[in-house]
Chains A and B, each alone.
Chain A
Amino acid sequence: MSTVQTSMPVQAAAAGEPSLWSRLRANRNWAALWFMLPAAAFLILFLAYPLGLGIWMSFTDERIGRGGIFIGLENYQWLWDDAIFWLSVFNTLLYTLIASVIKFAIGLYLALLLNRHMPFKAMIRSIVLIPFIVPTVLSAIAFWWIYDAQFSIISWSLIKLGVIDHNINFLGDSTWARASVIFANVWRGVPFVAITLLAGLQTVSPSLYEAATLDGATNWQRFRYITYPLLTPIIAVVMTFSVLFTFTDFQLIWALTRGGPVNATHLMATLSYQRGIISGRLGEGAAIATAMIPFLLAAIAISWFGMQRRKWQQGSNND
């Protein structure tokens, strides 16, 4: 008797529960809408809408202070015949390629060094990241002074060492200017690559190295067959970000050379700013910016492909 009495309320509660849960479930989308609203508002108003607007503007002849009319592909046809535009595309690809490769090589090397046992490890690690913390423009200004035509400390040191006999015109000569901005970019990017790869390295179990050493593997073999395969996924992500941000770089170039000398360091982003904002031809600037999108999509697609491959590999390993 008493068991029936106690079980009755439980049953009632059990019967009531689904309706409560189903009501909550019904509410869920509604509640989520309100939770998502602030973030969605920002991203739609100031990201998605401008992205579409930019593509639309690239088909118009809009200028600062005057609305544009639709002119079809005229901006693109104009750019197609524009040697400076193609030079900027070439510069951007060159800059991205060389800087990313060097960043990856030095970053990986630095990560491997930092992963070894040494005194003051934590402190050294935090010092390494400082170039990444300091605003790019402010460190670029320091590089500007280091690259100064007259008072460059690099030229001074090399002259004192007897390597060269006159000042190097770092930012005035095309080749030197390209090398200088690439160096500054690498300088800023290496800490990011190194610290993120280091985080990946720390997840590799030491027992794998122990086993390989027992089997007589050399240093290179341990790196090639243990470290590198296990690190591939994080390398793919880090390098995608690195390539993306190098490709769209603006501030370093603007602070150091503003695209000069003779457009030798003009990237697509800086050219877009110069044509769009300084010369006021918004339509043309937007067309240059839009022309960057296919390259970005390609970079994202490659990383996506890389991650898919990783999943596939993991799946096959589990089988």
Chain B
Amino acid sequence: MTDSALHSKAPAQAASDDSEGMSYLESLPRRLITLYLPLFIILVVLLFPFYWMVLTSIKPDEQLIDMEKFNPFWVVHPTFKHISKLLFETQYPRWLWNTMYVAVGATFLSIAASVLAAYAITRLRFKGADTVGILIFFAYLVPPSILFIPLASVIQAYGLFDSPLSLILVYPTLLIPFSTWLLMGYFKTIPYELEECALIDGASRWQILVKIIVPLAVPGLISAFIFSFTLCWNEFIYALTFLQSTPNKTVPVAIVNEFVDGDIYKWGSLMAGALVGSLPLVILYAFFVEHYVSAMTGAVKE
């Protein structure tokens, strides 16, 4: 009695795998109802829009609008017409390039600034370090929706309007608070003794940071990098406000503004655009799932 209840509740205890088999067999119908069925329904709902995206982007136009003759949940004679049209007849590659350029630029700037700031806050223990830490946390809570109007006039004043450079400079305000907070957590786990040894051997603060702290915090850096990159790719309101001319746009903004032409056949290319725009992130995510999850949960836990 206790045994079966214990096993059904105990989260992933690999050690007791053998004995668990029996109790699972006993309660299989129950597990089916309470675990697999709801999980299956939630997964289907979560994944359906992506299935629909992929399906639409390879469906010929006549199948898209004729739902009586063709079953809409499947596709016969798939076509790559929408995707090739997207890649060769629109400025989509240019938009992808813009997005990539902005995301990489902003991420590198932010990570560099965050490493320095996190090191100063956790290790230099300067006067007011705690206050600065709290201020950075509050900066994390300031949403872009209340900043885009004044920022638009700041960007205008600096003469950066309609330039991807404006986004590279503005996105770090979203990324630095998050990455600093995350890296502070990683730096705190590095023993002080290493640093003291280096100080005795005559290393400067800069050498300690570059040769000891940063190499030890590589997992944290990867997490911060992946998460920042995703945030940049996802950002919309600044890009929508600051970029005006078509060739300068990023993928999310271009999809919303450039494809909506009232054409009844727009859906194929729209979905192809959404699919191609999502793929880089999904592929990146597939390689770094653990880092991504630790970035997300680490930032919340701190």
- Interface residues in B169-189 by Cβ distance below 8 A to A read 169-170, 172-173, 176-177, 180
Q: Are A142 and B149 in contact, with the CB atoms below 8 A?
A: no
Q: A54 with B150: in contact, given A138-B274, A187-B45 (CB under 8 Å)?
A: yes
Contact code string B31-52 (vs A, CB < 8 Å = 1, else 0): 0000110110011011101101
- Interface residues in A214-253 by Cβ distance below 8 A to B read 214, 222, 234, 237-238, 241, 244-245, 247-251
Q: How far is the CB of B86 from chain A (nearest CB, A)?
A: 13
CA distance A225 to B58 in the complex (A): 51
Binds A, one of B77-85, B87-95, B276-284: B276-284
Q: Are A133 and B230 in contact, with the CB atoms below 8 A?
A: yes
Q: Are B300 and A238 in contact, with the CB atoms below 8 A?
A: yes
Q: Are A38 and B47 in contact, with the CB atoms below 8 A?
A: no
Q: A293 with B255: in contact, given A46-B154, A49-B154 (CB under 8 Å)?
A: no
Query: Which B residues are CB-close (under 8 A) to A127?
Result: 43, 46-47
- Grouping DSSP codes into helix (H, G, I), strand (E, B) and loop, the A interface class, with mixed when no group exceeds half, is helix
Closest 8 CB pairs of A and B: A32-B126, A35-B120, A248-B143, A39-B117, A199-B297, A269-B145, A54-B150, A251-B236
- Interface residues in A120-153 by Cβ distance below 8 A to B read 121, 124-131, 133-139, 141-143, 145-146, 148, 151, 153
CA distance A110 to B44 in the complex (A): 13
Q: Which of B46, B150, B177 contacts A50 (CB 8 A)?
A: B150
Is A16 in contact with chain B by the CB < 8 A criterion? Answer: no
- Interface residues in A153-192 by Cβ distance below 8 A to B read 153, 156, 187, 190-192
CA distance A137 to B274 in the complex (A): 8
Q: Are B35 and A128 in contact, with the CB atoms below 8 A?
A: no
Q: How far is the CB of B233 from chain A (nearest CB, A)?
A: 6
Q: Are B11 and A201 in contact, with the CB atoms below 8 A?
A: yes
Q: Are A196 and B285 in contact, with the CB atoms below 8 A?
A: no
Question: How many chain B residues touch the partner (CB < 8 A)?
Answer: 102
Q: How far is the CB of A75 from chain B (nearest CB, A)?
A: 12
Contact code string B205-242 (vs A, CB < 8 Å = 1, else 0): 10000000000000000000000001001101100110
Contact code string B133-171 (vs A, CB < 8 Å = 1, else 0): 000101101111111111111100000000000000110
Is B12 in contact with chain A by the CB < 8 A criterion? Answer: yes
Nearest A residue (CB) for B56: A145
Binds B, one of A77-85, A96-104, A284-292, A310-318: A284-292
Is B65 in contact with chain A by the CB < 8 A criterion? Answer: yes
Q: A42 with B113: in contact, given A254-B240, A269-B145 (CB under 8 Å)?
A: yes
CA distance A183 to B270 in the complex (A): 21
Is B5 in contact with chain A by the CB < 8 A criterion? Answer: yes
Binding site for B on A (CB under 8 A): 24, 28-29, 31-33, 35-40, 42-43, 45-51, 53-54, 57, 62, 106, 109-110, 113-118, 121, 124-131, 133-139, 141-143, 145-146, 148, 151, 153, 156, 187, 190-192, 195-196, 199-202, 206, 209-210, 213-214, 222, 234, 237-238, 241, 244-245, 247-251, 254-255, 268-269, 272-273, 276-277, 282, 285-286, 289-290, 292-293, 296, 300
Query: Which B residues are CB-close (under 8 A) to A131?
Result: 46, 49
Q: Which of A48, A106, A143, A196 contacts B296 (CB 8 A)?
A: A196
Q: Are B120 and A32 in contact, with the CB atoms below 8 A?
A: yes
Nearest A residue (CB) for B177: A43
Query: Which A residues are CB-close (under 8 A) to B124?
Result: 28, 31-32, 35
CA distance A209 to B136 in the complex (A): 38
Query: Which B residues are CB-close (under 8 A) to A296?
Result: 141, 143, 146
Q: A130 with B282: in contact, given A135-B234, A135-B252, A272-B145 (CB under 8 Å)?
A: yes
Q: Are B52 and A250 in contact, with the CB atoms below 8 A?
A: no
Q: Are B10 and A209 in contact, with the CB atoms below 8 A?
A: yes
Q: A50 with B147: in contact, given A29-B126, A39-B113, A250-B236 (CB under 8 Å)?
A: yes
Nearest B residue (CB) for A121: B12
Query: Which B residues are CB-close (under 8 A) to A124?
Result: 39, 43
Q: Which of A135, A206, A254 contacts B233 (CB 8 A)?
A: A135
Q: Are B270 and A145 in contact, with the CB atoms below 8 A?
A: yes
Nearest A residue (CB) for B147: A50
Contact code string B103-142 (vs A, CB < 8 Å = 1, else 0): 0000001101110110111001111010010001011011
Is B301 in contact with chain A by the CB < 8 A criterion? Answer: yes
Nearest B residue (CB) for A238: B300
Query: Which B residues are CB-close (under 8 A) to A28?
Result: 124-126
